[in-house]
Structure 1
Amino acid sequence: MAKGLTFNGIRNSKIILLEGRSKPPFAQRKHEFRKQDYGYRLKKTTTEPLPISQPIGFVVNDDYNALELRDELTNWLITGEPAPLQFDDEPGRTYYALIENSIDDFSRFAYLRQGTLQFICPDPYAHGDTDHLDVEVIEKPFIITGQTFTPWTVNVTFAMDTNKFEFTGNNGLYLLLNYTFVAGDRLQIDYVGRKVSLNGNDLRSAVSMSSNFVLLQPGEVTLKASHECTLKYDERYY
């Protein structure tokens, strides 16, 4: 069976994946240094977007059919935001990508159109499984899976009234919200953008200055919370 790809939740059976996919083993990193008397000290490391090039081909009946297929591919591949990209030969891995090149670039060989799809992934990692950890009021160890640091989301549904929510990890993660929560309230805390919402409304004002948002690192971590909650994260791979 021919290998294919799925993009933005759609699989197009008319395209054929050709040999020669190009994807770095990991995204390029740029290091910024600060000069000191004894040498240089690392100031910051930035991970660049990940490029993926995938040669493809598709068979056409005539020039009219070629235009139809070109328009179909254009409508499928051009998105306003990064969309999920999955390859059959990388099972369980999802990239979030944008298309960069034009379908007009494709070469013509009689009834075959052939070219390369150029994707760029602002999030330079492949996403694996989504894991849900049930965090309790007593310390409990968990294993964070994947290859590299990953963001997270905490979800709480309060079963009783309380005047705060506290979440602690032995990796330096610490969240403290001073607020009068009532039974039935639904709280969500998202590492990305430091977003905090209560029943769908912004509650970032309740976050204590002592809070410390840190990414999860693969390996063992011990977590606890003042109220039972769920921590969700995606495995991330190079």
Structure 2
Amino acid sequence: MKSELNFKVIHEDGRTFDMHECGLWVESFHIYSPNAKRTTSENLNSDGERVRKSKQGTRPVYTSYQIESDSLYDFDELKHLIFSIFYTNQAFEIIRDYRPDRRIFAMQEGEFDINNITPVDGEFDLMLRMYDPNIYGETNEMNLTTAFSSYEIKGQKKTQWSSRTVFSAAASQFVLENNTGGRILLKYNFIAGDVLEIDYKRRKITRNGEDLAVALSMSSNWFELQPGNVQLKASQATTLTYTERYY
């Protein structure tokens, strides 16, 4: 029998730990609400304060477990396996069995101890922290053409994107834009077969794997993708990829 709250931990190097297979029964798994961070200033002529800036802070994740083993040796081995699963220098990915279409990235916060119920059985609570507060969904691709077309952006939050363009013919520039003022303009003499890749998150632009940031026009206006219907086009056939974000 497996806990309904069972999940997998995936380390940065690809190692995967299924809690059930490792001998852990997941008792609790609670992702806290979005952590609202506000920068405010006093209203001089009225009550209250004015919100100047809002952002989402880090989020705690409360988890608890039961473990059992057949001997003191096995219990000690399991304890140190648990330590190695949750103590990492980089955030690990968590995918819950009942929501395989959602994932979070978290790290152990503070320390924890395993309380013995018997010499070979125990329980413990563990606090994790999502330093990236987003819950991620599916990764989707959209095929952009030279005319504005409508695309449905899934998720609840605006999200970042990357694009890949293979030039079918020579061109003196490249444009990728939406219909609300977002626009990436590159001025460069591209040739047929050139592969252009743009990464919004890193503000990275490459041609055939080589940096091409110098081609970015000052008139460009980087944009994220808003959930819902958006209009997009590119001056060359382009594949745009994004990952859904949720609260």
TM-score (norm. length: structure 1): 0.91
1:145 matched to 2:182: no
Structure 2 residue 235 is the aligned partner of structure 1 residue 226: yes
What is the one-letter code of the residue matched to 2:100? P
CA distance in 1, matches of 2:92, 2:214: 32
Q: 2:8 is aligned with what amino acid?
A: T
Q: Which residue of 1 aligns with 2:67?
A: 58
**More strand per residue:** 2
Q: Quote the sequence identity (%).
A: 29
1:30 is paired with a residue whose SS is strand
Change (3 A) 1:131 1:53: same
> What TM-score comes out, normalization by structure 2 length?
0.88
**Counterpart residue number, 1:7:** 9
* Alignment counterpart, residue 31 of structure 1, candidates 16, 31, 38: 38
Q: 1:36, CA displacement in angstroms?
A: 5.3
**Aligned-pair RMSD on alpha carbons?**
1.8
For 1:183 and 1:209, how far apart are their aligned partners in 2? 25
Q: Which amino acid aligns with 2:132?
A: D
Q: Distance in 2 between matches of 1:227 and 1:202?
A: 19
Correspondences of 1:98-117 after superposition (within 5 Å): 98-102=107-111, 105-110=113-118, 111-117=120-126
Change (3 A) 1:27 1:173: same
Distance 1:209 1:28, change over 3 A: same
Superposed CA offset, 1:117-154 (max 9, x none): 32211221211111101010011001111111111111
1:28 is displaced (CA, Å) by 0.7
Q: Which amino acid aligns with 2:39?
A: E
- Number of aligned residues: 235
1:31 and 1:46 in contact (8 A); partners too: yes
Match of 1:128 in 2: 137
Q: How many Å separate the matches in 2 of 1:211 and 1:41?
A: 31
Tell me which moved more, 206-215 or 224-233. 206-215
Deviation, structure 1 residue 56? 1.1
Aligned partner of residue 193 in structure 1, secondary structure: coil
Gaps of 5+ in 1: none
Q: What is the rounded CA distance, in whole Å, between the counterparts of 1:36 and 1:202 in structure 2?
A: 47
Which residue of 58, 61, 68 maps to 1:49?
58
Distance 1:78 1:201 in 2: 36
- Measured after TM superposition, the shift of residue 234 of structure 1 is 0.8
1:9-50 alpha-carbon deviations (Å, 9 max, x no partner): 3324111111x32222x3111111234544544321121112
| 2:177 aligned residue (160, 163, 168) | 168
Contact 1:156 1:228 in 2 (8 A): yes
2:100 is paired with a residue whose SS is coil
| Residues 171 and 80 of structure 1, relative CA distance in 2, 3 Å threshold | farther
AA at the equivalent of 1:6? K
- Given that residues 136 and 227 in structure 1 are in contact (C-alpha distance below 8 angstroms), is that contact kept between their aligned partners in structure 2? yes
CA shift digits 1:39-77 (9 cap, x unpaired): 544321121112111111211223322221122222222
Long gaps (5+) in structure 2: 11-15
Whether the 8 Å CA contact 1:164–1:179 is kept in 2: the answer is yes
Task: Give the Cα–Cα distance (whole angstroms) in 2 for the partners of residues 206 and 134 of structure 1.
Answer: 23
- For 2:75 and 2:110, the matched residues in 1 are separated by 18
Give the SS at the match of 1:68. Answer: helix
In the alignment, residue 213 of structure 2 is paired with which amino acid?
R
Give the 3-state SS of the residue equivalent to 2:231 in structure 1: strand
